[in-house]
């Protein structure tokens, strides 16, 4: 994931609005207490997610992949008054920790945190969703996309994380995981129902808008 020059990354973060105290705590806790802390969105990407959400002012957000709750709280900052965010994760071991962060955030009444298999939960959700953030198991990205695309209204948005896959998308002999990401990127790019831009933010985020 660390394929951007560290000095440029530090410079970018130094010129990005700061995290809240709660987000700083989640950042610290995740890096010291939770496995695979690189999965955390982190400061700059978190501010980007917040910025996009604030521009869209979504009434409904669906997040696929909660991890420690950092990105959910960033997205919640842009919710329209009375809006709702549903976030899904399969890891029940982190549930109490994440619910604690949500309860401390002020957004607890707007967040519906579901534990389980997203492939099974999403079909049960009625939608529509103004904004969807896909940041879970990469092998299921294409399936998640197919499950949510009809639950997004015209003008709605999808954000997909890790689409540069630590820079491996330009490898001449990509491995199986990289091929999965390449296939997803091509699928989105060739979908006539949407317009898209792949942004080299952190590990790559594709911003997708449904026509």
What's the mean pLDDT in 29-45? 94
Q: How far apart are CA 137 and CA 155, in angstroms?
A: 26
Q: How far apart are CA 57 and CA 113, in angstroms?
A: 20
What whole-number percentage of the chain has pLDDT above 70?
99
Q: State yes or no: pLDDT of 2 exceeds 90.
A: no
Q: State yes or no: pLDDT of 3 exceeds 80.
A: no
Under 8 Å CB-to-CB from 143, ≥6 apart: which residues?
Answer: 119
What's the mean pLDDT in 139-143? 97
Closest CA relative to residue 76, chosen from 99, 108, 114, 44: 108
Closest CA relative to residue 210, chosen from 185, 198, 191, 193: 193
Alpha carbon 59 to its chain centroid, in Å, reads 17
Average pLDDT, the chain: 96
What whole-number percentage of the chain has pLDDT above 90?
94
pLDDT at 50: 98
The pairs formed by 145-150 with CB atoms below 8 angstroms and a separation of 24 or more are 145/184, 145/187, 145/188, 147/118, 147/119, 147/122, 147/123, 148/62, 148/64, 148/122, 149/193, 149/194, 149/210
Closest CA relative to residue 160, chosen from 24, 30, 52: 52
pLDDT at 4: 78
What's the mean pLDDT in 98-121? 98
pTM of the model: 0.96
Following CA atoms 112, 210, 138, 118 in sequence, which dihedral angle do they give, to the nearest 10 degrees?
A: 30
Query: 9 pLDDT band (50/70/90 cuts)?
Result: confident
The per-residue pLDDT for range 67-81, each reduced to its tens digit, is 999 999 999 999 999
What's the mean pLDDT in 177-187? 97
For the chain, which domains are there?
Answer: 6-210 (3.40.50.150)
- Token pair belonging to 188: 């989105």
78: burial class by Cβ within 10 Å (0-12, 13-18, 19+)?
Answer: buried
């Amino acid at each position: 994931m660390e394929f951007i020059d560290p000095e440029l990354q530090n410079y970018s973060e130094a010129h990005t609005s700061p995290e809240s105290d709660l987000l700083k705590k989640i950042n610290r806790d995740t890096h010291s207490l939770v496995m695979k802390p690189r999965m955390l969105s982190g400061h700059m990407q978190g501010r980007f997610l917040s910025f996009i959400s604030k521009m869209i002012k979504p009434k409904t957000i669906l997040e696929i992949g909660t991890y420690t709750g950092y990105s959910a709280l960033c997205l919640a900052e842009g919710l329209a008054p009375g809006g709702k965010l549903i976030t899904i994760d399969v890891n029940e071991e982190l549930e109490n920790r994440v619910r604690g962060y949500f309860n401390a955030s002020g957004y607890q009444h707007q967040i519906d945190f579901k534990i389980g298999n997203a492939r099974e939960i999403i079909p049960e959700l009625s939608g529509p969703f103004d904004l969807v953030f896909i940041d879970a198991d990469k092998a299921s990205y294409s399936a998640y996309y197919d499950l949510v695309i009809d639950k997004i209204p015209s003008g709605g948005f999808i954000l997909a994380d890790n689409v540069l896959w630590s820079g491996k998308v330009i490898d001449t002999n990509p491995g199986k995981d990289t091929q999965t990401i390449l296939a997803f990127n091509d699928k989105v790019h060739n979908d006539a129902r949407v317009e898209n831009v792949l942004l080299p933010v952190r590990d790559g985020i594709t911003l997708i808008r449904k026509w």
